[in-house]
Structure 1
Amino acid sequence: MKKLLKLTPMFLLLIVLSSCSSVRVATDYDREANFENYKTFAFFKPGIDKAEINDLDKRRILRAIESELMAKGYTKSENPDMLVSIFTKSNQRVDIYNNAWGSGAWGWGGYGGWGWRSGWNNNQVSTTTEGVLYIDLIDANKKELIWQGSGTGNLETRSVEKKEARINEFVSQMLAQFPPEKK
């Protein structure tokens, strides 16, 4: 039992580290929209121009969206049924890991009051930048939002290939939930 308790922090750390590489996806949509009516798309330049991301990454995102939509049978058009826009934001994520190892225990510490006593107590703080990518699909005729996907995850990577793969992962996981299933 003691060995299991000593290994628990390691297992938790592994779970946290493996979850850092995943993309957390959320979607929302207009329940009144008939998604079967949408066959064509175009990019909404005014919305895309406002996205606070460098032009290289914008092009990577747009190529990934275009590829995913075309794989689903949608066609890029000058006279589209649906407009595609993106926007981004970033958040600073702070993770604190309390790795308490050793023979210490909680108890009365004299003039220090209750708290951890003796043993090795090591707190580790990790900060990463998490990016959030939003994909908006807009009815071209009504100019109304019909579907929105958001993907949140760690974007920092030094390799161009890894960055491109990460962007593709974001877009793929988000658009996997488009169009929404009929209920």
Structure 2
Amino acid sequence: MSLVRLYAATSPDLLEDWAMALTAISRPTTGDTSTEGRRSAPSTGQSFELCIARASDGPLLTGQDLRRPMQIRRIACAFLNKWGVPDCAANVALLTSELVTNAFQHGRGSVSFRMTHADSLVELSVGSDAPLPALVVQNPDETDQSGRGLMLVDAIAEAWGVHDGRVWCTLPSGPVRTM
């Protein structure tokens, strides 16, 4: 299995730079008519991990911390394209946003995100330096502004849970699954 580890300290632009670079290198090339419109076979046994230091460790998140889910989502989708499995990008992007946002809002210290593609599954795993509090799928009212993240994870992921203080979920690497 191939593993890429990326560590982002407190530089506000580092993840954005990585996201832009990875997006650029993972786009399919065009112009070669012999391969245009075809995808290469998906690679399997691929993994990457991001470890991100928070800009603030208090209960209030900074603008930099609030941008992290979007940046990590872009990097995850770029890796899916690079690995040849872009069909699941919409669901991976959604669940990445939900899990990373929860880790920043409810965890403490650095946040780590790991995505693995093996066989026909993509696994997402998120944790922080301090174990996340007990997870409960909530049933929010229509007017509640939050509380739907784990409902989405439960509805879209094939499986999910908590192991060693990390929240994980698996999705098929094929076409988008609808709710």
| Common fold: TM-score over 0.5 | no
> Normalization by structure 1: what TM-score?
0.27
> Normalization by structure 2: what TM-score?
0.27
More strand by share: 1
Question: Which protein has the larger Cα radius of gyration, Structure 1 or Structure 2?
Answer: 1
